[in-house]
Chain A
């Protein structure tokens, strides 16, 4: 899994590339945590280049969202492909997490 981190104003955008599965979700979590520790409060994860997300991935997203929520921040997710969107829908995460169609949407008003 590759990460491309960008900062736009107060928002940190993380673009992931690859699969957010059992193996890679550990790395993802570490990466996010590091960002939060460095002071990021507004995080946008861009899944445009993510093939699929497994339950393990969902778990770390939830964890990240909670962590951010705890410090008064929030997590936004965007760029879901059909398969990933389906997973979000089935699991109900699309209602738990803030999901946006594109990065621009996610950034708007953040």
Chain B
């Protein structure tokens, strides 16, 4: 089945359908995926950024809160008094462990505790203007230490003290004018744990009483930074200081990346030196996907956080995988969908493709079967039986199938009708072809017909119409001088006419062997033809007998077109005489005849009505007048030329029209006996006895001597007489009767023409030796040799069977000896 063809329609359809579906799915998927990811990314960053901003705001707010706490604190008169006392006490040299101090502290502690609890400070310091830590709530080693002078100088509190002092002289321009900040740094009194301080002067009016500081509660910072709403599972916010160490405790890595851990450890292990933190610490905020301190790809929204001239980095980060988790889910879902869809698509494509191709394949098969069907057999084609389902389709394939079925029916009908028509036509053609064969086989068709004859020439053309119309012509010698000419037109068409023509022709020729009167011949022929003529066919005939020696022509016209004579002086004569009705119609008619003389140089033309009744495309007739004009105005060199010109003129007239009837034209040109200027002539009649040969030669030798024929030529003629006459005498006659042999010698200016005629059985001395000969081998050989000599000694030899006679004509070119 053709559906299995390697790259047939099914496969192609399949490939296209499936390919298109898959490709479009893939492209769509990719686009969606990519767009989704971008959108998700944007959204994730948006969220992150929002969180970052919130946190930033919150941290700044925290410090604002601290500042307002500071203000509240230092403007409280109690605190001012406490400061005074602290300064005084300490200035009087009462150290922190003295009872004076203790009393002083005891009064202060509860208040400070309240403050610390309220404000959630880690500790509160009262610092003298000299930098002595005069009071702390939490009794740690730092109590009593002098800040600028001692190990505390480089700590956060040291930084804060210096800055605070500075601000008393030169207040800050931005933010709070005199609050000082000490960024996280190891704090020896707390075992080098990182501590960060805020310090502010306590004044009473203009009087600087001292400073107070408190340790910034990391918790508060953490409280802000570790609040994780909007950060999913892996998101966090954290702060990083300019040293890349933590300023808030990491949520994701609480062990290693807490503030404490990072101050005890290294940046690499415990800090956050990332692309994002670098940028933020350089003062640039932004959003990027970077590798965080764990090396994990994260979405990072970062921003610098300026605090009292110190720049921290505030980082909001979330794992990329989590941010894009949705996308991943989508991607996976898409992929799964894809994987499910592909086989489904495949199946659908296959099914669809197969439906089409099965329909088309069925149709193709039908077409093939139809194409291969033998319409000339008897079976009807059975190609549409399996197309039922296809023809029911409503689409173009259905149309095609239905058309196909209709076409097939139409075709069968046409072929049937054609078959019957063809059969009829073939029969007809067959008949016509037979008719034509009969017609042409009976015509003398070899031209020139008598090439050796100088006294006349004959030429004819016959062009049968498609339906053979039964024309014929004939010419032959009745005896050696009587030349018969005949043109005829049988009524009707086809085989019957052709047969009738054959019969008529044969009857004429057989009578002409003995009867040289055309009237007589036609009378007899008419009787014969009319006798058994059931079909009432008839034939028009023009029959003439020309005596080639004298030019006298006897003729009978039986219902035929009158012929023309074109005289040598150019006159045109029409032989109008009619001598009886058509032949074959009525028995017993006595036809008459007339005589006409042909002079040398005359032409005689016979034809049938196919010429005068030839039609052109407008159905106009060629007509007698046109022929007459052509014949009278034209000069003709030969019979052949005359016939050619007449026929060509008819063709020209006929043009594109179909030939209606047979066209026959026959012409004779008559030159007469003395065309070549005979100088001398010798006629002898001899009997068929060997002795006669000598007599012939004697006569000839006299003749030759008289006309000074060269000796060698004379001898040659002697030889041929000897051979030929011997041959004739020995073999031409079956009986023992006496026969006359006619010998004629014609001497022309430059040649000798010898004619030997006998009435023996047909024998061509110059042709093959007749197979039915019963000559003994020896004789036959010699006969052959002799004739061979004759042939080669003479310049031209011809043989004709004219009537009942064998006529041998031999020519020798001679150069006559000059007379003295």
Contact = CB atoms under 8 A, between A and B. Distances in A.
Given A22-B690, A52-B722, A91 B715 contact: no
Nearest to B790: A55
A27 interface: no
A56 B718 contact: no
Given A22-B722, A56-B786, A91-B785, 14 more contacts: A19-B718, A21-B718, A22-B726, A23-B693, A54-B789, A55-B783, A81-B711, A83-B711, A83-B712, A83-B719, A86-B712, A86-B793, A87-B789, A91-B789
Contacts of B697: 19
A21 B693 contact: yes
A58 interface: yes
B722 A90 contact: no
Interface residues of A, number: 20
Contacts of B723: 54-55
Most buried by A among B690, B718, B719, B786: B719
Interface in A21-53: 21-23, 51-53
Contacts of B716: 52, 83, 86
B427 interface: no
A81 B712 contact: yes
A22 B789 contact: no
A56 B718 CA distance: 14
Contacts of B793: 86-87, 90
B722 A21 contact: yes
A62 B75 CA distance: 182
Contacts, number: 68
Contacts of A90: 788-789, 792-793
Interface of A: 19, 21-23, 51-56, 58-59, 81-84, 86-87, 90-91
Contacts of B792: 90
A81 B789 contact: no
Nearest to A22: B726
A60 B366 CA distance: 89
Interface residues of B, number: 22
A81 B694 CA distance: 20
Interface in B716-741: 716, 718-719, 722-723, 726
Interface in B776-820: 782-783, 785-786, 788-789, 792-793
B722 A87 contact: no
Nearest to B713: A83
Interface of A is mostly: helix
Contacts of B786: 54-56
Nearest to B719: A52
B694 A54 contact: no
Contacts of A51: 715, 718
Interface in B679-702: 690-691, 693-694, 697
A82 B789 contact: no
B789 A55 contact: yes
Contacts of A22: 690, 693, 722, 726
Contacts of B785: 55, 58-59, 91
Contacts of B722: 19, 21-22, 52, 54, 56
A46 B322 CA distance: 147
Contact of A55 (B691, B711, B718, B782): B782
A21 B786 CA distance: 11
A55 B786 CA distance: 5
A82 B712 contact: yes
B782 A56 contact: yes
- The 3 A-B residue pairs whose C-beta atoms are closest, nearest first, are A83-B715, A55-B786, A82-B712
Interface in B156-188: none
Nearest to A86: B793
B455 to A, nearest CB: 30
B709 to A, nearest CB: 12
Contacts of B712: 81-83, 86
Interface string B263-299: 0000000000000000000000000000000000000
B596 to A, nearest CB: 47
A90 B697 CA distance: 22
B217 to A, nearest CB: 157
Contacts of B718: 19, 21, 51-52, 83
A21 B725 CA distance: 12
A91 B789 CA distance: 7
Contacts of A81: 711-712, 715
Contacts of B693: 21-23
A74 B793 CA distance: 29
B789 A59 contact: no
Most B-side CB within 10 Å, residue of A81, A83, A86, A87: A83
A54 B788 contact: no
A53 to B, nearest CB: 8
B71 to A, nearest CB: 166
A23 B729 CA distance: 13
A32 to B, nearest CB: 17
A87 B717 CA distance: 12
